[in-house]
Structure 1
Amino acid sequence: MKDLHIHMSGGRKDSPKEFKEKCLAAGVDGGAVFSLCPQMIRPEPGEDQRWQARMEQILEFTSGAEGFLPIFYIDPTEIDAMKQIEAAAEYGFAGFKIICSHFLPGNILLPLCSMAETGLPVLFHSGILYDERCSSRNNRPIEFECLMDVPNLHFSMAHVSWPWCDELIALCGKFNHLDEAMPGRRSRMHFDITPGTPPIFRRDALFKIFLSGYPVEKRVIWGTDNVANNYNIDYARYWANLDRGIIGEIAQNAESFRCPGCPERKFNSLWEAVSENNFQRFFGKQEGGAA
């Protein structure tokens, strides 16, 4: 399995070797690891949160954990954000991580255009954000509709946007329409199904994502919201087992949800797509690049 959503936080950190051993014990042999967050997002006492230091730290860490990609956690409102974007592309980062904690998505379209020009994907937080700010509006799916104005942006929306899962699926429908109406722009939206949904909501959310009629089979990616400092093996196993079971149930029952006249959906090897192949595709590691 591949884990799309692994944070690096402040404090004690496992070595890359210890980190990878824990991941493998959970059945995870690769993934994406975010750099330490910018200070404006959350201060980390005792940590150097200058962007240069955060870049250096995560590049060194992932270089010792084969199969795990470095993602640069950026605050696109910082005065030198454009310089940071250029540096991330130059130094070999695999993508950008953004949490709209103190700004709306519509206020960062210029730096997003620069990120899109690098060809690297952007991994957004979406859904309720447990911080100390009034930030929920910034992270509601409908506020991301403006991303349609960023040509060739390749992005994911994390946590199934809980509690606004239905709104996220509607946004997917909008971007699916854009794929057909404006194919030259090639903007792509993906679902990062990292937990945000409490377990009792999980089945309903995943059923809706896959069975609302949109072609999402290649655009749903699994993750855990784990931490690289001390990767929680039991936590990762729990979500893998829960999601594998739900997705197996979806594959078995998909035909019964198909409306008359709608094309047949192929859900063969759906868990393998969600937990492995779509990760590779998202980062352009699979033939044909991003879907």
Structure 2
Amino acid sequence: MQVASSNAANITQAAISDATRILTERSIDLNQVGEAEARTIMSEEHKALGYRPPHGSLASAAQAAAAKHPQTDAHIDLDALKKAALDDAARIAAERGQPPPTESITAGINLDAVGEEEARKLMSAEHKALGYRPPPGSLAADAQAAAAKHPAGAVNGLPKPDPEALKQAAILDAARIAAQRGQVGNADVNVKTVTKDEAKELMSEEHKILGFRPPPDSLAAQAQSEVDKRDSQPMTKDIAAEIFSEEHKRLGHQPPSGTLASTAQSLADKNEQDDGGRTMQE
């Protein structure tokens, strides 16, 4: 039987968003962030978004990290802190279908520094993230047009962007395009209601975008862990009720037949009947 959940439409965008979060957080070692650095990140991200960074933002993660080691002073470069905050603001804006911050990372890739090699890397990374060729107006397309004018790049001695900066810029721009095209509504994926096939797809998408296996704190890893946990224990009424409640909340109406929620309820009913039969035999 085909099992579906309300997560299905959000898998691609959620993978893009979570991959961007991981790359952004890896650009700043949160173990080296103290109160001063956390304040800078919060201030810069707040300014870029125009509202307080939400839970799940780099700013909120930095504050949580700084609470564990407030006096840490790793002398992280101020420009690196600002860039990371701006990158994350661009991710959140794209995820919410909002215009990117004026000085987003995509604007931060100076196209005069981009040559054919960099343009190819941008095109490849953005194509991977989107799942289709980046359209006109994308960072990848603009980079190709710029590289046609100066194939060697580095005009006037400008430093070429490093590969990680190119990859992150491509992923952020992919998120912007996906949001603008209305490919998804809410980018959230509820790991409590994700199906086995969706967890597998999410892992595949996020792996493809990152270029490495998603780490333990990734959305893909959390989804897989939840599916494994669900498979390792019998479905109970309580677990089925939780899945049903989460799906109902997300859909705004009762989950229809064939969904994970209804399947979980049927399985819980069967398990209860089987347990009752065994008890009577004993």
TM-score by length of 1: 0.29
| CA radius of gyration, larger in | 2
Structure with greater proportional strand content: 1
Larger RCO, structure (CA 8 Å, separation 6 or more): 2
TM-score by length of 2: 0.30
